[in-house]
Amino acid sequence: MSLSWVTIVWSALASACLTLAFVRLGSRRKQPSLARQLRASAAELRESESRFRDVANTAPVMIWMSGTDKLCTFFNQGWLDYTGRTLQQELGNGWADGVHRADLARCMEVYTGAFDAHERFTMEYRLRKRDGEYGWVLDTGVPRYASDNAFLGYIGSAVDITELKRGQENFRLAVEASPSAMVMVDQQGRIVLVNEQTEKTFGYARDELIGQPVEVLVPEEFRIGHPAHRAEYYAALCARPMGAGRELFGWRKDGSKVPVEIGLNPVHAPEGLFVLASIVDITERRRAEKKSAEQRNELAHLSRVTMLGELSGSLAHELNQPLTAILSNAQAAQRFLARGEVDLDEVRAILTDIVSDDKRAGEVIRGLRMLLTKGEMPYRALDLNDVVRDVLRLVRSDLLNSGVNVLTELALDLPAVNGDRVQLQQVLLNLVVNGCEAMTGAEDADRQLIVRTALTDEKSVCVSVADMGHGIPPENLERVFEAFFTTKTQGLGLGLAVCRTIISAQGGQLWATNNNPRGASFHFKLPANPARPL
């Protein structure tokens, strides 16, 4: 608010001038004899008055004085320059001719009222300028007294505040025109200004809010802590969003809550310090975000189910192995028992194996069920090494059948990442399956897939899947992530597009590079969770 600063500077200058004038007028010194004293006093007074006039006439403000009869006795050069009139025209009540007719009665009322009570007054009015236009002035008058405390009349100063007024008006218009709800609050937390959008967002009429504590707009559960937050804000004033990272809600007149985003700005005005809160109703955005998250999850699920369909053979095999072991173990035990050779140690060993094989089958089912789950999972701290292991276990038999040898280079002491385990498994499954497909037709020795995890720049965890296939033409390195871009005869070409959506939604990046000398690598990077070292 540069305009406010201008005003403050003006006011400071004006009061400095006045103080200087009073000091000069009121200064007295002890003299040895009365005659000399009087002579000296008269001379000093003349000098003092002349100095006052010099100061008053060169001061960048308009100065006036009046006598006990309320009639004006002095206007400085600044005043006369402003109105373009002579001192004679202005003296007495002449100055009132220049006051805008609409403001005159109020002005006279303030002036005479204060005058009779010998009180300081401040008023704003329009004063005709030299060019005939009216300018807004801020006029401050103070009573003046002789050394014996006799009331002498008033001295006052006026400054042009037209620009300030225009600024205030612009400010008001800007606030009014804002598409956000704007609420200005004073240091006591009272609402001093709201715009039309505030009325719409919160369901209150303007008059119902002005003068109320801002807490009427805060939901009950947050109301108690709010004054403390306000105090914190005043302690460290800056323009910033409110409630860093928290979900904020407004409280409507009808008692409903509205999700909002709030920006706070300190406003330094002549009247003091204010905080202007810009409040955006994000109901629609929330709804859109929710919808897009739902669609993303839906698509992710669809693509997961499709992929699991392709992997069904492998998955069935993973389930079949423990079932085979369980059946054979159980039937072996039956046979041992039937033959009457009851070796309890052997039976115990068989039962132990059955239990562990059954658990393993359960794990496979659990993993599958998780992958088939629809909908959003809460983000959890995850070890990406675990995700890699889970995925490789699921596709083990597929890898065997396609003759692909998988090497893992998993970094130790990997920090956790925050994410959706299922969707990350899906991404990795996609990358591994793609890597294998990229190597079909290659020599046995060349069918090698390397899965690496690494901590990069201390802040993110990177997973890379490198194949030894033909690589990706450079012009397609980015296009492979486009929906429906595919080089395969099967599949929709959605896999990588969905993967990228998943990784982006979890705050990470997914990209492809070509290896030297051959093959391609897909990498994804997720921010490390600093709070959770594993």
Partner 1 sequence: MSNPAPVVFVIDDEPAVLKAIARLLVSAGMRVAAFGSPQEFLDRYDPAAPGCLVLDVSMPGLNGMQLQQALIEKDCALPIVFLTGRGDIPSSVQAMKRGAVDFLTKPVDDSSLIAAVRRALEQDFAGRGERGEIAALRQRLATLTPREREVLGHVVAGRRNKQIAAVLGTTEKTVKVHRARLMEKMQVESLADLVRITGRAGIAPTP
**Region label for 422, one of left (φ > 0), alpha (ψ between -120 and 50) or beta (otherwise):** alpha
* Cis before 517 (ω within 30): yes
Nearest approach in angstroms of CB 520 to partner 1 is: 24
- Does 42 engage in binding with partner 1 (CB under 8 A)? no
C-alpha distances (whole Å) from 116 to each of 68, 73, 90, 111, 225 are 10, 18, 22, 9, 48
Q: Which stretch binds partner 1 (CB under 8 A): 71-79, 326-334, 477-485, 491-499?
A: 326-334
Longest dimension (CA), the chain: 148
Residue of 4, 11, 321, 509 interacting with partner 1 (CB under 8 A): 321
Residue closer to partner 1 by CB (options 211, 313) is 313
- Does 317 engage in binding with partner 1 (CB under 8 A)? yes
Nearest approach in angstroms of CB 429 to partner 1 is: 19
User: For residues 45 and 20, what is the distance between their CA atoms, to the nearest angstrom?
Assistant: 15
Q: Which stretch binds partner 1 (CB under 8 A): 104-112, 323-331, 376-384, 466-474?
A: 323-331
Written as one letter, the residue type at 410 is L
Dihedrals phi, psi of 263, to nearest 5 degrees: -110, 140
Nearest approach in angstroms of CB 397 to partner 1 is: 7
Nearest approach in angstroms of CB 321 to partner 1 is: 5
Residue of 325, 368, 392, 492 interacting with partner 1 (CB under 8 A): 325
- Does 323 engage in binding with partner 1 (CB under 8 A)? yes
User: For residues 180 and 487, what is the distance between their CA atoms, to the nearest angstrom?
Assistant: 48
Q: Which stretch binds partner 1 (CB under 8 A): 170-178, 334-342, 474-482, 485-493?
A: 334-342
C-alpha distances (whole Å) from 171 to each of 54, 166, 195, 520 are 38, 8, 11, 58
3-class secondary structure, 332: helix
- Does 308 engage in binding with partner 1 (CB under 8 A)? no
Of residues 470, 452, 475, the one with CA closest to residue 523: 452
Which residues ranging from 335 to 374 are in contact with partner 1 (CB under 8 A)?
335-336, 339, 350, 353, 356-357, 360
- Does 310 engage in binding with partner 1 (CB under 8 A)? no
Nearest approach in angstroms of CB 416 to partner 1 is: 31
How many residues touch partner 1 (CB under 8 A)? 29
Nearest approach in angstroms of CB 357 to partner 1 is: 5
Of residues 217, 192, 506, the one with CA closest to residue 378: 506
Q: Which stretch binds partner 1 (CB under 8 A): 189-197, 297-305, 327-335, 480-488?
A: 327-335
Of residues 81, 71, 63, 77, the one with CA closest to residue 25: 63
**Cβ-contact 430, 300 below 8 angstroms:** no
CA angle 376, 382, 388 (to 5 degrees): 100
Nearest approach in angstroms of CB 389 to partner 1 is: 17
Nearest approach in angstroms of CB 401 to partner 1 is: 6
Residue closer to partner 1 by CB (options 321, 476) is 321
- Does 397 engage in binding with partner 1 (CB under 8 A)? yes
Residue closer to partner 1 by CB (options 29, 339) is 339
Q: At what angle do helices 421-438 and 283-310 cross, to 10 degrees?
A: 40
3-state secondary structure 315-350: HHHHHHHHHHHHHHHHHHHHHHHHCCCCCHHHHHHH
Secondary element (H or E) of residue 431: helix 421-438
- Does 400 engage in binding with partner 1 (CB under 8 A)? yes
Residue closer to partner 1 by CB (options 47, 343) is 343
Of residues 449, 432, 426, 444, the one with CA closest to residue 497: 426
Residue of 153, 156, 322, 367 interacting with partner 1 (CB under 8 A): 322
- Does 448 engage in binding with partner 1 (CB under 8 A)? no
CA dihedral 254, 258, 263, 267 (to 10 degrees): 0
Nearest approach in angstroms of CB 409 to partner 1 is: 19
Residue closer to partner 1 by CB (options 314, 423) is 314
Q: Which stretch binds partner 1 (CB under 8 A): 21-29, 35-43, 239-247, 315-323?
A: 315-323
3-state secondary structure 454-469: EEECCCEEEEEEECCC
Nearest approach in angstroms of CB 370 to partner 1 is: 22
Residue closer to partner 1 by CB (options 357, 437) is 357
DSSP β-bridge partners for residue 405: 448
Residue of 320, 408, 456, 487 interacting with partner 1 (CB under 8 A): 320
CA angle 60, 64, 70 (to 5 degrees): 165
**Cβ-contact 182, 193 below 8 angstroms:** yes
Of residues 80, 61, 79, 54, the one with CA closest to residue 16: 61
Q: Which stretch binds partner 1 (CB under 8 A): 91-99, 287-295, 310-318, 490-498?
A: 310-318
Nearest approach in angstroms of CB 364 to partner 1 is: 13
- Does 392 engage in binding with partner 1 (CB under 8 A)? no
Residue closer to partner 1 by CB (options 331, 456) is 331
Residue of 405, 418, 476, 514 interacting with partner 1 (CB under 8 A): 405
How long, in residues, is the chain?
Answer: 534
Which residues ranging from 97 to 136 are in contact with partner 1 (CB under 8 A)?
none
Count Cβ neighbours within 10 Å for each residue of 201-228 and write b for 16 or more, e otherwise: bbebeeeebeeebbbebbbeebeeebee
Residue of 57, 328, 486, 509 interacting with partner 1 (CB under 8 A): 328
Q: Which residues bind to partner 1, rule: CB under 8 A?
A: 313, 316-317, 320-329, 331-336, 339, 350, 353, 356-357, 360, 397, 400-401, 405
